[in-house]
Amino acid sequence: MSDKKAEQLVNDASKKVNDTVNKAEKDVKSAAGKAEKDAKAAVDQAENTAEKLAEEARSAANKVSDFVQKEAEEIEERAKEAGKSVSKAFSKTSDAVQAKWAKFSSRPSCWVPVLSAINIAVLGAAGYFGYQNRSKIESADRRIVAAAAVGIATLLGGEGYLAVTTAKKQGRK
């Protein structure tokens, strides 16, 4: 081959290589630009999605807050009503107890069963104490027997005196 042909072939090959390199550079720049645009679009879309999700979360939080606040107010109202109900019940019970006490204390005839129960309890306790300690108490120990008799007589006498004086104050005989 001649030098001219060889030179021509080298020039053609060089031109083709340069064209291919230029085209490759162009394709790389184009792909990089497209990738950049796609990345920006993806970032924008992600930001929009994040904003939407954040707004939905705020909305849900507000709904939950409103619900909790309403429930708290309802519970507070129920507690107030329950407090009023308990107060009324206590007041009624207190009034009933006071009425019963006034009726009981104004009628000495009502005292007889109560005083009888007290007297039976005192006598029973004294008898039980004597029975439990029978080995310690000597049969001739008159001081214990006398003390018990005086105590019981004093209690019965005090009860009788109180009943009579109260009946006289109330105008009864």
Residues 92 and 137 in one domain: no
SS3 string of the chain? CCHHHHHHHHHHHHHHHHHHHHHHHHHHHHHHHHHHHHHHHHHHHHHHHHHHHHHHHHHHHHHHHHHHHHHHHHHHHHHHHHHHHHHHHHHHHHHHHHHHHHHHHHCHHHHHHHHHHHHHHHHHHHHHHHHHCCCCCCCCCHHHHHHHHHHHHHHHHHHHHHHHHHHHHCCCC
Greater pLDDT, 119 or 51: 51
Residues 122 and 101 in one domain: no
List the domain range (segments joined by +) for residue 121.
Answer: 107-173
User: What's residue 140's pLDDT?
Assistant: 55
Q: Residues 31-41: what's their mean pLDDT?
A: 88
User: What's residue 63's pLDDT?
Assistant: 92
Residues 99 and 119 in one domain: no
pLDDT digits (tens, 9 = 90+) for 67-90: 999 999 999 999 999 989 999 999
> Residue 130: pLDDT band by 50, 70, 90 thresholds?
confident
